[in-house]
Structure 1
Amino acid sequence: MKTCLVVDDSKVIRKVARHILETLDFSVREACDGREALDACLESAPDVILLDWNMPVMSGMEFLQALRASDIASRPKVVFCTTENGMSYIRAAIEAGADEYVMKPFDRDTLESKLQIVGLA
């Protein structure tokens, strides 16, 4: 079974994402900030990470940079999932190592298509 780590400081977003991902046959774990997510990835890397940009403790961008700099054995796909929609944000995310970018609010079809693009749906 494919695995996904949903990283968002909003419990509602995590719950919605979990529901969608489970209907797509993903095993889902959750983290409420980048620090918790990094610890989870170092413990057991998921296939894909659904990542919020704006979070306390460690932002999505800080998490992504730390993840890409780590010596983690596998390289999870990273899909930024955020309200930040400016081209500068999207460009920065891709340059930092994100694989895809999805806008909030999202639905099952949108998320499934992004997962297909990164080769996981």
Structure 2
Amino acid sequence: MKRLIGGQPLYTKDALVFSNASVICVGNSGKTITYQIRSEYGNIGILKENDVAEWFDLHRQEAKEEFPRVSGMPGGGFTLTVGEAHAANIKTIVPPELYSIEINDLNVCSFIVQGKHWTCFSELLCLSNSY
């Protein structure tokens, strides 16, 4: 499983066990990756990476998303491209003065971040160097 980032939506595989949720933050104890998640009902919990893989789908069944994706921009800035649900969650985590946003006709959202704001933006979303 590719490492998740802040705001990433999690779609339940079994609504009797977990509701849909989103990632709040990512932890790394050196032995395992953990995710602090918030359910759609506001409950907060911590799950290990294998628990997330067992109980959640990362994309809705009908979606063939290849996100999140980070791209460098001329002049030193970056673009984070995500799906619409992920973008809505990111907006609750990151202050709006750190980015501008573009949404295309397919509801793909691009957060445009100036180089001077990238460190703060990426830390708030727990982005690793692997993106």
Give TM-score scaled by structure 1 length. 0.25
Structure showing the higher strand proportion among its residues: 2
Give TM-score scaled by structure 2 length. 0.24
Which structure has the greater CA radius of gyration? Answer: 2
